[in-house]
Amino acid sequence: MAKLQLLLLLFLFSFAAAPSMTGVVGINVGRLIRRLFPKRPFKPKPDLPNLPPPSSPPPPSNAPSNAPSSPLRPNNAPSTDVQTLLYSGDYTFLMELAIGTPPLSYSAIMSTGSDLIWTRYVPCHYCASQPTSLYDPSQSSTYANYSCDPSAADCSYYYGYGDSSFTQGFLGFETFTFGSAVVPDIAFGCGNNNSGDFDNSSGIVGMGRGSWSLVSQLGYGRFSYCLTPFGDTNTSPLLLGDMVTLTAQAQSTPFVPNPPSWPSFYYLSLQGITVGGTELPIPSTTFSIAADGTGGMIIDSSTTLTMLVDPAYSELKGAFESQMNLPVADGSAYGLDICFAYGGENVTVPGLVFHFEGADMELPSDNYIAADSSVGLLCVVVVASSDLSIFGNYMQQNMHVLYDLVGETLSFEAAQCDQL
């Protein structure tokens, strides 16, 4: 996880058809950088306070360690579609939900890069503050213990993420409410030992491909979301079920089969990138999954910035530096490497197109450019990765994205998300 010494503000600007900048939305890039990495399990830290860590790291299935690879009993999926609301946090997107009976409202990070659903609970030995009360299973009439061992009183778990944050506690079943849909027997984690910055939320709702995710537990074959711009106070929908549709203008690209090492991710086939009308000379194998399961490109709603492996990143950087009519500048204080000196003048920004298999995604400049004349910088909000390329949520703003798990395709189209 990148460590910034300065937590200064960069500002995201919209670029109109004419080469002038309009509008201002505050973006704390110091916080954005802290969410660069996907939700990948990692080896548990030793000497965790109050609760002993498990003896082994999480298994490749991306299930919580010390627990079965899938929930022990099927969940009662609702008879109707599920709809709830999303809104912008500082660097992730939060979903509205309620837990327990009587239902208590919470917000949680919506993550297509992980599986486990979890929230902080009472008593919490190691928890950060949150805007809502901690969940208390003793105050809910619908809570039930999750027993993974008949000889144990409860089923403890540990679940770590690629940015070194983690949650630890015990598993249970509970009734969750999403909008008007009340869903009993959702398997989830009660975290009483949690470390990391979770964007002022109560926890995470995993939307990955694994059996512990909300998508898998509900049994729906389709879901979609539309992410409002960062800093926007409006909400947008998260939809699960048959109500999920896009217009005839939407484009679709197939999911790539997952390697056994990362079965929960949504892999895409990125075949090329164009900057300012020039397609970059990137070898066709750059975004392929290697025989050992490394590499490839995923889409993740909880990773903020798009990450590219070399040589794609180097080619992208070189193309912007040759096409921008601004001097190259140092953006390392913000964790950004493709930056230019900027004093507030009108400037033309090269276009950016991602060429997926069967679909070309032409991105608006406010999905990949951040600028602030007060600190003298304009930056391309893309960073380098050593192994896995990630299409992050910053590039997904004002885009309606549909995950079809039956047809194994991802579809997308530009949208005014707060008007859906």
Q: What is the pLDDT of residue 21?
A: 26
- Tell me which architecture the domain covering 82-240 has in CATH: Beta Barrel (2.40)
Q: Any idea where the domains of the chain sit in the sequence?
A: 10-34+246-419, 82-240
Q: What CA–CA distance (Å, rounded) separates 331 from 339?
A: 6
Q: What CA–CA distance (Å, rounded) separates 119 from 162?
A: 18
Q: What percent of the chain has pLDDT over 90?
A: 60
- Give residue for tokens 């917000």: 107
**CATH topology agreement for domains 10-34+246-419 and 82-240:** yes
Instruction: Give the tokens for residue 236.
Output: 């947008």
Q: CA-CA distances (angstroms) from residue 213 to 100, 158, 355?
A: 18, 15, 29
Q: What is the pLDDT of residue 78?
A: 67
Tell whether pTM > 0.75.
yes
User: Would strands 104-111 and 270-275 be described as parallel, antiparallel, or unpaired?
Assistant: unpaired
Q: What is the pLDDT of residue 288?
A: 97
Q: What is the pLDDT of residue 23?
A: 22
4 or 233, which is more confident? 233
CATH number, domain 10-34+246-419, options 2.60.120.650, 2.40.70.10, 1.10.3720.10, 1.10.132.20: 2.40.70.10
Contacts of 151 (CB under 8 A, 6+ apart): none
Instruction: Give the tokens for residue 243.
Output: 């109500």
DSSP structural state of residue 107: E
User: How buried is residue 278: exposed, middle or buried, by Cβ count under 10 Å (0-12/13-18/19+)?
Assistant: middle
Q: How confident is the model at residue 217 (pLDDT cuts 50, 70, 90)?
A: very high
Q: Find the radius of gyration of the CA atoms of the chain.
A: 21
How confident is the model over 65-93, as pLDDT tens digits?
A: 766 677 765 556 666 789 999 999 988 99
How confident is the model over 17-69, as pLDDT tens digits?
A: 222 222 222 344 444 444 333 333 332 332 222 223 333 333 334 567 766 67
Q: How confident is the model at residue 4 (pLDDT cuts 50, 70, 90)?
A: very low
> How many CB atoms are located within 10 Å of the residue 420 CB?
12
